[in-house]
Amino acid sequence: MDAPVIVPASVTSRQLDVPIFMYHLVENQVPPKSAYGGNTKGWLIDEGLTTLTSQFQAQMAYASSIGATSISLQHLADALLYGLLLPPHSFVITFDDGRLSQWTNAAPILRQYGFTAVFFPCTALVGGVYGPQQYVTAADLRDLASTGFSFGDHTLKDNVALWAGDATTQQLEAVTDQSKTTLESLIGGQPIQFIAYSGVWPGPTQFSDSSLEQPLFTTLQGYGYVGGVQDLVKDSADDVSTALWQLPRVRVGLGISTSSWGTWVEDAA
């Protein structure tokens, strides 16, 4: 487990090419439309965010075969802030929402190859069943934490947009600070320093600490966060971040082949 990130008073500009992969569902089969009871929109979202277990296995096997190393966000932050050297072909694996299949299907494969990952569960969904989707239990989270996996906050239910004044101070405190405290308690006190923003992050005109987003970053910093990961609608290959608050991620799903996924890892610093 990496030590908590301490942000220095001044930061030297550094450039790294480290893909941060974003997963949601890791399932043995594509979720059947019939299980969604007419909620076509919900099914389309989940279908697009599904990675087959066999696909995930192939991705991790390939990464292992080329000597790649999965790292935590704390490790990445220390490399950016302090120049800490990274292993060849470093990459970050993240899981959003706390879907049960991450625990049942993905975690055993990660352990098989000695890879780590960052889990961003929604604290109000822990242990719940909503439609066809089940979510990890508190016991599952504690087991992951005790075996070296790290965590970040994904708010209560990933249903409140946080930027540009869309959320009031009271809402921010409830869906982020209180969620962060709850998650820290669930996993035994491991500090939560990163957030996966809820809702879809703003578009490409707002990537560089714009006036719309800066107040959010300042508020989150006051709650003890040091950075955030985005969920973008544009190609992650085109994204450039200038701050820990705006770390871009690669959306992984059925449309990402093992070869294209592997290219990201091959090209990593």
Per-residue pLDDT of the chain (269 residues; tens, 9 = 90+): 688 999 998 888 888 999 999 999 999 999 999 999 989 988 998 999 999 999 999 999 999 999 999 999 999 999 999 999 999 999 999 999 999 999 999 999 999 999 999 999 999 999 999 889 999 999 999 999 999 999 999 999 998 888 755 567 788 888 899 999 999 999 998 999 999 998 766 655 445 556 667 788 888 999 999 999 988 766 556 666 667 988 989 999 998 899 999 999 999 97
Q: Which of 264, 250, 252, 197 is nearest to 27 (CA)?
A: 252
- Sorted by where each begins, the domain ranges of the chain are 20-266
Structure tokens at 181: 């405290």
pLDDT of residue 222: 93
pLDDT of residue 12: 87
Spatial separation of the C-alpha atoms in residues 56 and 101, rounded to whole Å:
12
- From the options 3.20.20.370, 1.10.40.60, 3.30.750.24, 3.90.600.10, give the CATH code of 20-266: 3.20.20.370
pLDDT of residue 184: 97
pLDDT of residue 235: 59
pLDDT of residue 218: 87
Spatial separation of the C-alpha atoms in residues 200 and 88, rounded to whole Å:
31
Spatial separation of the C-alpha atoms in residues 227 and 77, rounded to whole Å:
9
